[in-house]
Structure 1
Amino acid sequence: MKFLNRFFPHLLAVLGFVIISLIYFYPVLQKKALFQSDIAQYTGMAKEQNDFRAKENAEPYWTNSAFAGMPTYQLGANYPHNYIKKLDSVLRFLPRPADYLFLYFMGFYVLLLVMKTDPLKAFFGALAFGFSTYFIIILGVGHNAKAHAIAYMPLVVAGTILVFQRRIILGGLLTMLAVALEINANHFQMTYYLLILLLAITVYYVIKFVKAKQYKLLLISFAALAGAVVLAVGANATGLLATAEYTSFSMRSKSELTVKPDGQKHETTSMPRDYITQYSYGIAESFNLIAPGLFGGSNSEKLGPDSKVVEYLQTQEIEKDRYLSKDEAVAYAADGMPTYWGDQPGVAAPAYVGAIVFFLCVLGLYNDKRKIKYAFLAGAIASLILSWGKNFSLVTDFFIDYVPMYDKFRAVSSIQVVLELCVPVLAVMGLKSFFESDKDRQWKSLKNSAIVTLGILLLLIVSKSVFKFTSINDEGIDPAFVDALIEDRKALYSSDLWRSILLVLAAALVLWMVMKERVSTMIGVVIVGVLMVGDLFLVDKKYVNSEKFVDKYKVDVPFEPSQADQEILKDTGNYRVYDIQGRMQAKASYFHKSIGGYSAVRPRRLDEVIDYQIDTKLKNLAEIIDPETLSLKSNIPALDILNVKYLVVPTRDGELPVTNPFAGGAGWFVSSVKTVASADDEMKNLSGDLRNTAIVNSKDFPQFKNKPFAKDSTASVTLEVSKSNYLKYKTQNAGVGLAVFSEIYYPKGWNAYIDNKKTDHIRADYVLRALEIPAGTHTVEFKFEPQVVKTGSMISLGSSLVMLLLLVGGIYYEGKRKTVIKNPAVK
């Protein structure tokens, strides 16, 4: 009975999280699915991989459907002995995306329990964290990996704190599992940002231990954390090693080229600085953390019937002597208007943490005596400043230039996830400490917190005239429409500020009534909790609601073939497709072998070839396409060697398939090799006769400098078998020749075999594979056999076994320790 009484509140909390997750995403119970734009793109990218699994009952680890070929390490590849992924699947037992919302709640609930919070306050605190607007909107657009990583952040923090609180065994085990799950989520940017908060917490405890001269305990704590991290990394070794191996070939590595397509010099960072900071939070815009509509909400905000935009729309003549009716104008405005006027290119929703959450956070800073609050405050401030990006370049440039790996991540505004974790923690600390304080302290902290919070909100109201409410996206729009938008932006600004003021006043009033003993503590917690969570819930529903759900079939099959796709698919040969307008989209990858695709880690060299050698020559399509035959008039060498037989060209009425009669086929022998000494020279020479001359970088492959090759009139390379991870050719040439294959060069896994004998192959023409082949007829095979998967899997197996043994031992130890505590006579 005591056991049940002890765990019953937690069981109720977990049940509540399940129910609330399902209620918020209730269409999943109707067998509907949330249409997530990013997941639709992922589905397109992963289709070939999934088809291979279904047919071969094996993992390919390579796809030919995107970017002319790339590893599937970032496309959901399944690795042997990945038991952490199996554990994660168990924890995410609810239908998507309710599973991620449930993880938000559970992870934060555990953190609050570690912070000595009672179950009721922890329950509402977890809901406030999970319903933070940014966390919901990323589920709406399909940033599942980001949501996944965020959900496990609180658990990592909880484990770390437990270790420093001298709960070495329990904390070490929780940290081990939490870090393993965090890494498995596979969003290294979020994990990297988490380190900033962990650094602040670690510094706090180091100072605490040093002041107490507890150096031994500090070393034990560090050892426990280090061991936990090593095992967590080991359990995810395959994915980590594979990703690290591929990174140097991806967009996240520094270009070997020294000049851009426009002739300007390349930056020394892994990615261009303006690309890293493209999404930078405006400094003033940060106040929408406490008033959601302060900067217009989103770039597709629903406006009501009394909006100025609706008035403007009714003045628009759609036919002669016919204007939009009120109902038509209301329906049009309800589809979403570009009210957002902040510094970012666009946002799907404001990053709102809640007015009451912020008020309670201030209360926590005033009232809670625990010094750890300063670690969370430091994490929040650091993430806020870094989220400003180019708007506070002094700090941002320092981090890009000097902090390891910071230049490998874009969209710096997303670092605010750290703040969105810290502020609710401080809020619950404020709520908890308020009820534990004496009346005098309660009144002082309540009064000061209300003055600060309401003062900020009132100051923003007074400052309304300072802002222009215009956006860079307003350029080119009818000035009268922009004027109407500005009026609606002003209305949103004022109404949401007053809304936040009323919410703060309501929460403060409830706490005051508790202080005056007119309301019980439990009732007070419930009312404040409902107000706090209800506020966030209603804002979230504006952006992610039942309207976003569709029939599950539309999610499983997100793309319908266009007439151009259908025409191309009649050709059952071996070729690639370039969707000009959809280069950065996955639609073409869903139906064809494409040289485009959707990935933030696309192969760098292939991307550069398209930038430098293809798109520059496709700028004026009318001049290079024969309108009668719908084919290219002249060849584009880079397209030819990539075996691009079809281009999907946008028109006013849709898309047209344009044939490239010069496509090079699966492979060919060259007559000569031209050696160059740099990547710049490789790129410059891709405009020549690449069917007869291969371009080879002598710095990387010195053995081919001045080496003669020949081909006769009957020389041929014929593709006989083509699978994702296996290619088989028949080659014929009278002499020793160099064959170039229209396949992406990736030496970290692709092995070449001539007549079953493994042999070395090289990179030619900047991105392709080339192989020296003896005279005569031969069988050439390329097999994708990544050693990193084999090595990583063995490390994962060993680490997982050690983790299992430690878990069993730890559970036994904790159980025995509690028995001894309850009965000191037990030895």
Structure 2
Amino acid sequence: MQFSIKKLLPHVLVLLGFVIISLAYFNPVLKGKAIYQNDIVQYIGMSKQQTDFKAETGEETYWTNSAFGGMPTYQLGARYPHNYIKKLDSALRFLPRPADYLFLYLLSFYVFLLVLKVDFKLAVLGALAFGFSTYLIIILGVGHNSKAHAIAYMPLVLSGILLVFQKRYIVGFLLTTIAMGLELVANHFQMTYYLMFLVIVLGIAYLVDAYKKQMLTHYFKSIGVLVAAVALSIALNATNFLATKEYVKESKRSKSELTINPDRSPKEVTSGLDRDYITQFSYGITETFNLFIPRFTGGGNAEDVGKDSATYEAYRKLGATTTQAAQEVKRAPTYWGDQPIVEAPAYVGAAILFLFVFALFLVKGRLKWWLVGGTLFSLLLSYGKNLGFLTDFFIDYIPLYNKFRAVSSIQVILELCIPALAIFGLVRLFNDFESKDDKLKALKYSAIITGGITLVFLLFKASLFDFVGSNDGFYRQSYGQDFVDALKTDRKSLFTQDAIRTLILVLLSAGVIYLFIKDTLKERLVIVIFGALILFDLVGVDRRYVNNDDFVSGVKMSKPFQASEVDKFILNDKSHYRVFDLVSGPSKPSYYHNSLNGYNAAELRRYREVFDFYIAQNNINVLNMFNTKYIVAQDEKGNAYPYENETANGNAWFVKSLKMLDSATEEIKALDSLDSKNKAVYSPHKALEYFKNIKNDYVIDSLATIKLTEVKPNYLKYQSNNTNKGFAVFSEIYYPDGWKILIDNEEVNHMRVNYILRGMEVPAGKHTIEFKFDPDVVKTGSKITLASSILLGLLLISGLFYEFKRNNKPSKV
């Protein structure tokens, strides 16, 4: 027992160190402050209605009316019954946000390197290099929490897989199951999808190695164990998985039925996102060197170039005061890469990249090839439209690839692979299997390559690069050529400063290794020095973009929106209606009202299409159809003003006629001039059987009414009174799954009309109509998660008992 405690103590101390480091970097959280994350602010606005409903009733709603006219909450942080793997995740993220994610980065990568049998001291170095990789810190600054969450568990998933391949089948199975379960909890399927690519690369490397070593039986046994582990991990997340699978068919990630664009031009028919949308954020090939020299292409879209800059002088010449110029240069548009918006460069570190190149000459075997393969694979795919033939192949032929945008984010794979191989460069440096001559040769080549490239850039930057940004035409038109020339001068200056910085770090790294090879420095001191270099290097760049200035009071983040006079005026109206806000931003309207606005990367496809065709154009016919009672726009003085729309259709109404059109395209075109108060249109879809049993024309009594009498996010109740059988249209988004419709407590069907709304035939007389969102997918998924959680618990107890007995079995004399 004493021996076991002695072995565990270093790891306990390391974890305590990770806690301290995470809190130190994000130290304002200790004062109750919160980092201002724009995406999280928007999420708070979107999820306010469901949060309030849970607080008031103790129940979870899986539908919200507050955004995009109405949508499921599956992608808005919905919580499901029996989601015990989520509780484990919450326990691991015990630190205040975002320190919790940084801690997960460090912990997960540390375990990964330990599984690769790296000494714990070097594993700490690798964890620091991974955790402080600039991109991983930046996404915390802007609020891409689910992305950070998924990335953090990637090394842990790899750890489980590697344990299985190391013939530790039971421990590997359990760790893979739990880690993959946690990966899926993060609910960022794009990152998990990219992880799958890396696992495939790893699998190919191990397959080749197994073939060479005649160990194919072990290889395929390992694959079987891993398939079982992944299946169980999916079962642990069954509710979210099934709900997402259901939802994605209706989201804008699915295939559109339209053959035209909003401008009526022919539309490219795809099974996923639009090709231009997928590749909008394509990494520039030149931009690759941002990984090595942080501001190689100018850094981010808003860099602080200081008062000594040419841009400052240009602002002064344009007539800005010293104060105005000083403010403007804090967000100078110095970025000149290929992407439309970049918060910061995806810098992995000069010292780490030097060690990565050094490792290329010393590390041998399958480990090297899957890490190098993963690096090259992710880099090439990150180029997107800049390497069109490869990207087009993946979009057209690789399943699910066209469901995700921002192809540059696949670089998270190389941000994992590079520090891993870099650490193995130090492992080989410290072992005695390599000769001093081989180590000196590797050092010489890596120094020549990394130092030489940097020196070439420094000496020939003027002839190699033009430092022209994609938006320079706008700045030239707005501010003149002299302003653009000033920007280019400052871009060159940033380039030079960071290139010199990188060259110094390369020389220091090379010098440390040289002194070790010459027996001047000891191993422990080399580790300490590289730890200092890595932290100085990465944290120094990270703090340019995410620092204490980004924190605000906790209250401001928990309640980021303040009701304006316009909001207060609208809220005085206690009826049920929608608001279209042209002034307040994407999700503030959702915070206070049932809104047509919203902020989500996967809203319902048909709603997005109607929005692009009509709502964004302020088409009053379509706004009426959604019962848009208030339109917030600017008045003559530029102030926000709530225009009341007296022609809104109301919550529900009887129409005189129905007309079937040939296609979805014809249906959406008809909305432009449709008299939606009296007519409804539809096109063939899976509810067509319902339409066969209804009439096309109806008589509407002058006294016929249908009124909304009760409203909850997941429940609507109407009272209808009509002497004739009628057809009612409801100003609510049609969603094919989950809604239970009752007329006088008897379940009936409904259907989609007017491209996006709900419609149904209502019998003559007085009736109570109820819409309840009670999705079967949640019930089914919850049963599966409960059963799989119990199974995992039993397997975990059995596995740990087996490992305990095996490790404590008396050795034979």
Task: Settle same-fold status: TM greater than 0.5.
Answer: yes
Partners of 2:216 and 2:730 in 1: CA distance: 61
The 10-residue stretch of structure 1 (161-170 or 755-764) with the greater mean CA deviation from structure 2 = 161-170
Partners of 1:581 and 1:607 in 2: CA distance: 19
Report what 1:64 is aligned to.
65
Question: C-alpha offsets along residues 140-173 of structure 1, whole Å, 9 cap, x if unaligned?
Answer: 0000000000000001111111111111111111
Relative distance call for 1:675 and 1:328 in structure 2 (3 A) is: closer
1:346 aligns with 2:341: yes
Trace 1:622-701 onto structure 2 (pairs within 5 A): 636-650=620-634, 653-686=638-671, 687-700=673-686, 701=688
Partners of 1:650 and 1:294 in 2: CA distance: 42
Report what 1:799 is aligned to.
788
- Aligned match of 1:379 in 374, 377, 390? 374
Partners of 2:269 and 2:684 in 1: CA distance: 24
Over the aligned positions, Cα root-mean-square deviation in angstroms equals 1.4
Counterpart secondary structure, 2:769: strand
Relative distance call for 1:606 and 1:507 in structure 2 (3 A) is: same
The 10-residue stretch of structure 1 (46-55 or 451-460) with the greater mean CA deviation from structure 2 = 451-460
CA contact (8 A) 1:297 1:350 kept: yes
Partners of 1:387 and 1:813 in 2: CA distance: 44
Aligned-residue offset at 1:563: 2.9
Question: C-alpha offsets along residues 258-277 of structure 1, whole Å, 9 cap, x if unaligned?
Answer: 11111222223211111100
Aligned-residue offset at 1:558: 0.9
* Structure 1 unaligned residues grouped into runs of 5+: 319-323, 619-635
Aligned-residue offset at 1:213: 2.4
1:458 aligns with 2:455: yes
Aligned-residue offset at 1:212: 2.4
CA contact (8 A) 1:582 1:596 kept: no
Aligned-residue offset at 1:567: 2.2
Aligned-residue offset at 1:532: 1.5
- Aligned match of 1:780 in 747, 751, 769? 769
Trace 1:22-421 onto structure 2 (pairs within 5 A): 22-269=23-270, 270-318=272-320, 324-325=321-322, 329-333=325-329, 335-421=330-416
Partners of 2:492 and 2:803 in 1: CA distance: 58
Partners of 1:147 and 1:703 in 2: CA distance: 45
Aligned-residue offset at 1:220: 1.5
Partners of 1:569 and 1:473 in 2: CA distance: 41
Counterpart secondary structure, 1:80: coil
Aligned-residue offset at 1:654: 3.5
Question: C-alpha offsets along residues 596-652 of structure 1, whole Å, 9 cap, x if unaligned?
Answer: 20001111111111211233355xxxxxxxxxxxxxxxxx22111100011111456
Aligned-residue offset at 1:177: 0.6
Partners of 1:525 and 1:331 in 2: CA distance: 42
Report what 2:440 is aligned to.
443
- Aligned match of 2:472 in 474, 479, 499? 474
Counterpart secondary structure, 1:208: helix
Partners of 1:328 and 1:390 in 2: CA distance: 38
Aligned-residue offset at 1:439: 1.7
The 10-residue stretch of structure 1 (645-654 or 141-150) with the greater mean CA deviation from structure 2 = 645-654
- Aligned match of 1:528 in 502, 527, 530? 530
Counterpart secondary structure, 1:58: coil
Alignment-mate amino acid for residue 225 of structure 1: L
State the percentage of identical aligned residues: 51
Partners of 1:735 and 1:9 in 2: CA distance: 80
Counterpart secondary structure, 1:475: helix
CA contact (8 A) 2:727 2:759 kept: yes
Alignment-mate amino acid for residue 451 of structure 2: L
Counterpart secondary structure, 1:656: strand
Alignment-mate amino acid for residue 532 of structure 1: I
Partners of 1:504 and 1:824 in 2: CA distance: 52
Aligned-residue offset at 1:348: 0.5
Report what 1:510 is aligned to.
512
Alignment-mate amino acid for residue 278 of structure 1: Q
Aligned-residue offset at 1:210: 2.0
Partners of 2:199 and 2:112 in 1: CA distance: 13
Relative distance call for 1:199 and 1:582 in structure 2 (3 A) is: farther
Report what 1:622 is aligned to.
none
Aligned-residue offset at 1:697: 1.8
Trace 1:6-17 onto structure 2 (pairs within 5 A): 6-17=7-18
Question: C-alpha offsets along residues 415-467 of structure 1, whole Å, 9 cap, x if unaligned?
Answer: 00001000000100111111113322221111111111112222322441221
Aligned-residue offset at 1:676: 1.2
Relative distance call for 1:757 and 1:328 in structure 2 (3 A) is: closer
**TM-score normalized by the length of structure 1:** 0.95
Question: C-alpha offsets along residues 292-346 of structure 1, whole Å, 9 cap, x if unaligned?
Answer: 011000111111232111222333424xxxxx23x6633442x321111100001
CA contact (8 A) 2:128 2:534 kept: no
CA contact (8 A) 1:677 1:699 kept: no
Question: C-alpha offsets along residues 564-591 of structure 1, whole Å, 9 cap, x if unaligned?
Answer: 22222222211101113557x1111001
Partners of 1:294 and 1:317 in 2: CA distance: 31
Aligned residues: 799
Partners of 2:168 and 2:453 in 1: CA distance: 40
Aligned-residue offset at 1:556: 0.6
1:764 aligns with 2:753: yes
Partners of 2:254 and 2:684 in 1: CA distance: 22
Alignment-mate amino acid for residue 691 of structure 2: F
Alignment-mate amino acid for residue 330 of structure 1: A
Relative distance call for 1:454 and 1:377 in structure 2 (3 A) is: same
**TM-score normalized by the length of structure 2:** 0.96
* Structure 2 unaligned residues grouped into runs of 5+: none
Counterpart secondary structure, 2:471: helix
CA contact (8 A) 1:698 1:704 kept: no
- Aligned match of 1:729 in 718, 734, 741? 718
Report what 2:560 is aligned to.
558
Alignment-mate amino acid for residue 713 of structure 2: S
Counterpart secondary structure, 2:766: strand
Partners of 1:212 and 1:426 in 2: CA distance: 23
Counterpart secondary structure, 1:472: coil
Partners of 2:202 and 2:740 in 1: CA distance: 47
Counterpart secondary structure, 2:81: coil
Partners of 1:747 and 1:392 in 2: CA distance: 39
The 10-residue stretch of structure 1 (690-699 or 570-579) with the greater mean CA deviation from structure 2 = 690-699
Aligned-residue offset at 1:488: 0.4
Aligned-residue offset at 1:716: 0.9
CA contact (8 A) 2:259 2:269 kept: no
CA contact (8 A) 1:124 1:533 kept: no
Report what 1:626 is aligned to.
none
Alignment-mate amino acid for residue 395 of structure 1: L
Aligned-residue offset at 1:659: 1.7
